[in-house]
Structure 1
């Protein structure tokens, strides 16, 4: 790979899409030059451009001048199914591509990878962060994306089906990764990486960080790393295979997010009693911070609703919990008699949890599925302990979840890395802390 590739980013999927062009865009296959306001909707299985005779299965609008032209999409949903979900208008550089997918219009932005990265870093966290953290984030985001492109190419070249759900009478195991996307490389939301176009992409420090690391990736034994990151590991990082497909990546390990292990704790959190001790207390870690100067560098405005991220608590009544699990899982457990940890990962995150109900008992996982079933959006993480209260005739009337961390906890911990940057660590030191035995390699 000698030049930065173009990538396809799925932005949203709707019955009707409204957008506008600031600058001149040409519709592929025609001489028509577009500027101003437009809308499209599905008619007879095709995309119909309002107030025109144009009706096609795909519309492809290219800017005549990439640097000076933008398009704006109306009411893009960000934070889908998370506690900060909201709609906003967003502007983008590059190509606007519209396709029909499952009876709706899927909106795709095609643009060079480096331009995408400038937005991702600004979208994932505040762009006011230290330059070294921004450089580290540019490198891991670039690595992750190239790894996904290579993986997609590999999957498209095989006839083998990719399975991410396994179900028996006693277990339901599911994980979520970017293989859900077949018509574009990545989506624009937290399922992949937050990408919000030029809406948050103008910070000069971000542009500097991307430009000064252009083409640089993490590699392990010559292979680009599937570099992951989450908001807060909770003190110890998780393994890849405990969150996604059962594949071990040696560079993604149980990193203790501290210069040395916190005293008084056994950090083998696979063991239940060690996890309980760890989660219900407050061990030292880079990501254990309430320093607002640091947090404002990492958390966007809509993230400030979740300031208690290192250790948190959620409480449900019996009625709330049983109704929530029915709604989110589609399974009627009846009254929830117990929730029993079955398997934990290296960070204390539950990878399997048993729900014992008056009507049904089932073991389920992995970590994101657990977070989905036990929240209207998503629990901050699956690293939690379960406290039962007011047991009446064997039925607890209340459940309290005591939790740790925010996100899957694999790879770089954004808040921990922000603290490292604030303390003066350089970007390569940050990367080598979270990713073991890696090489920084310039690919293009």
Structure 2
């Protein structure tokens, strides 16, 4: 197998401005797609969506493609790219990219797509997802999981090409609204450039020798389980216990994305013991869990979240955190355990604005179902006008925050309750940052500092998976 190329959706807007510092070869379909036009383009460029077409230099196209003459040296610049979409640190910046630029029309807007080789993409992802000062073993571990996740998603895209996606992402009734968000939300490209997929910012943030070394030393390596590339998810901080896939996305179980206590006694390279295996030598993911509480149970989840048990990701070491958190991520200081407080008016208004549903005054937030990390995947909102159970975890996080709650692993305290039973304030006490499935970036950073090899880090977070060479 040769190194693949992928298509990354970068930006969607009515108008897209970009610059070509060196001459690029432009290809475009116009006149109903009957004629192919190609020419050289250089300098500042402006494209506009007009009448469902890409308007460039006075001519309308179905799509445009700008290809570099020197793939390794040439780079184009996109203006006003949004990073941290819908997160508390959302902002715009100009970004530079290697590879080709494709412009298409989607939903009455232009979409800018970067066509780039996998290893170049990964060099950017590793530099974008975490600091380039991270340990080599952490960077190598992240290179393998980012490559694995990407290629697994590309296989899904290829399988879906030419046929509508039949996988439901929402179930709705009078009593429940259960919705999840995944890669299948995208059409027209393989992955997006923001946290919804993997944070990708081209060559905007310069990579270092150690990042390039991590990519080179793991080139073509992926995580495999039962003959398939692993859907290797990751998040910032699991909060002490990893979550299972099914509680965040569709109801599918992956043995390598199972409940795991984020501590030394849980690692397969120390005291942890596999209790069941499969005939091909891989684990089915059932591990001894003597140190892992049953956080699906409400009482256990309450106790766990309200305390701060030891874990790899339970750290305030600024040296370690700076390896994982870029400058805007470091605006978040409390993530292992955190608190959010709302008045009645604040919460009622927030839920109404975020969900589009008027619940009236909020009487209660009732935990209905939790996953293996204590993250809620069903939450009942009880109001004076309406009662509805919502899920899964990201829907809950989006509904209860102007951007996103750090996680859905939280407990609820009501204060200043009126004689009519209306709370004056709600206090949410939470654990972790992100969905908690797969690798915990902060925990993995601590493991790297403590001398674990990248293969050991991967064994810890992806139970029973193995590293294989997919291409040279």
TM-score range normalised by the length of the shorter chain: over 0.9
Task: Give CA-to-partner distance per residue, 1:183-233, whole Å, 9 cap, x none.
Answer: 000000010000000012421111111111111000001111000000000
Q: Distance in 1 between matches of 2:165 and 2:354?
A: 30
Name the CA distance, whole Å, in 2 between partners of 1:132 and 1:362. 46
1:122-201 superposed matches below 5 A: 122-156=127-161, 158=163, 161-201=166-206
The answer as to 2:317 corresponding to 1:291 is: yes
- 1:195-214 matches, within 5 Å, as 195-214=200-219
Correspondent of 1:327 among 353, 367, 386 = 353
TM-score (norm 1): 0.97
Secondary structure class of the residue paired with 1:407: coil
Q: 1:88 is matched with which residue?
A: 93
For the pair 1:394 / 2:393, whether they are aligned, the reply is no
Which residue of 1 is the match for residue 241 of structure 2? 236
1:367-398 CA distance string (max 9 Å, x none): 00000000000000000000000001200000
The alpha carbon displacement at 1:125 in A equals: 0.9
User: Structure 1 residue 155: deviation in Å?
Assistant: 2.5
Distance 1:231 1:259 in 2: 19
SS at match of 2:300: helix
- Long gaps (5+) in structure 2: 28-35, 267-288
2:33 aligned partner: none
Correspondence for 2:59 among 54, 62, 65: 54
Tell me the equivalent position of 1:340. Answer: 366
Structural mapping, 1:271-310, within 5 Å = 271-310=297-336
SS at match of 2:214: helix
Partner of 1:18: 17
Question: Within the alignment, does 1:410 sit opposite 2:437 as a pair?
Answer: yes
Gaps of 5+ in 1: none
Tell me, yes or no, if the aligned pair for 1:26 and 1:62 is still in contact at 8 Å.
yes
Measured in 2, the distance between the counterparts of 1:60 and 1:35 equals 13
Alignment of 1:376-391 (within 5 A): 376-391=402-417
Equivalent residue for 1:107, pick from 87, 104, 112: 112
Q: Which moved more, 1:428-437 or 1:19-28?
A: 19-28
Runs of 4+ aligned structure 1 residues displaced above 4 Å come to: 157-160, 263-266
Partner in structure 2 of residue 6 of structure 1? 5
Q: Structure 2 CA distance, aligned partners of 1:237 and 1:434?
A: 8
Name the CA distance, whole Å, in 2 between partners of 1:324 and 1:159: 35
CA displacement, residues 275-299 of structure 1 (integer Å, 9 cap, x when unaligned): 1111011100000000000001110
Q: 1:40 to 1:160 in 2, by over 3 A?
A: closer
Instruction: Report whether the alignment pairs 1:216 with 2:221.
Output: yes
**Displacement after TM superposition at 1:42 (Å):** 1.4
Judge conservation of contact 1:125–1:297 (CA < 8 Å) in 2. Answer: yes
SS of match in other structure, 2:204:
helix
Q: Which residue of 1 aligns with 2:467?
A: 440
Measure, in 2, the Cα distance between the counterparts of 1:266 and 1:318.
36
| TM-score (norm: length of structure 2) | 0.91
Q: CA deviation at 1:260?
A: 2.6
Aligned mates of 1:62, 1:120 — CA distance in 2: 22
Please state whether the residue corresponding to 1:83 is helix, strand or coil.
coil
Please give the alpha-carbon distance, in whole angstroms, between the structure 1 residues aligned to 2:233 and 2:259.
13
How many residue pairs get aligned? The number is 440
